[in-house]
Amino acid sequence: MVSFVSFLYKMQVFLPREKKFFDLFGALADKVVKAAELLEAIRSDYSKVMEINYEIKKAEEEADAIVHQILNNLICDHTRITEEKGDIRYFAHNLDNVIDDIEKTAARLAFASDEIVLEPINEFSPIVMKATKEIKRGVEYLRNLKKEEKNLQECCIRINKLENEADVVNRKWLKKLMTTPAKDANEVLQRLLLREIVDILEDTVDQCEDVADILDTFRIKGGI
pLDDT at 9 > cutoff 50: no
Task: State how far the alpha carbon of 103 is from the alpha carbons of 38, 59, 80, 179, 217, in Å.
Answer: 10, 9, 33, 29, 27
pLDDT at 77 > cutoff 70: no
User: In this predicted model, what pLDDT tens digit does every residue of 39-75 receive, in sequence order?
Assistant: 999 988 888 999 999 999 999 999 999 999 998 888 7
DSSP state of 80: S
At residue 147, the pLDDT reads: 93
Query: Using an 8 Å Cβ cutoff, are 211 and 159 in contact?
Result: yes
Confidence of residue 19 (pLDDT cuts 50, 70, 90): low
For residues 180-203, give the mean pLDDT. 86
At residue 81, the pLDDT reads: 61
Confidence of residue 106 (pLDDT cuts 50, 70, 90): very high
What is the number of other CB atoms lying within 10 angstroms of the CB of residue 204? 27
Query: How far apart are the C-alpha atoms of 204 and 187, rounded to whole Å?
Result: 25
For residues 83-96, give the mean pLDDT. 87
User: In this predicted model, what pLDDT tens digit does every residue of 25-34 receive, in sequence order?
Assistant: 999 999 999 9
Task: Spell 151-162 as b/e; 16+ CB within 10 A means b.
Answer: bbbebbebbbeb
At residue 6, the pLDDT reads: 47
Helix %, strand %, coil % for the chain, to 5? 85, 0, 15
Domains of the chain by start residue, with CATH: 17-221 (1.20.58.220)
Query: Using an 8 Å Cβ cutoff, are 110 and 53 in contact?
Result: yes
Enter the pTM of the model.
Answer: 0.86
Range name among 7-21, 88-102, 135-149 with the lowest pLDDT average: 7-21
For residues 177-183, give the mean pLDDT. 81
For residues 7-16, give the mean pLDDT. 38
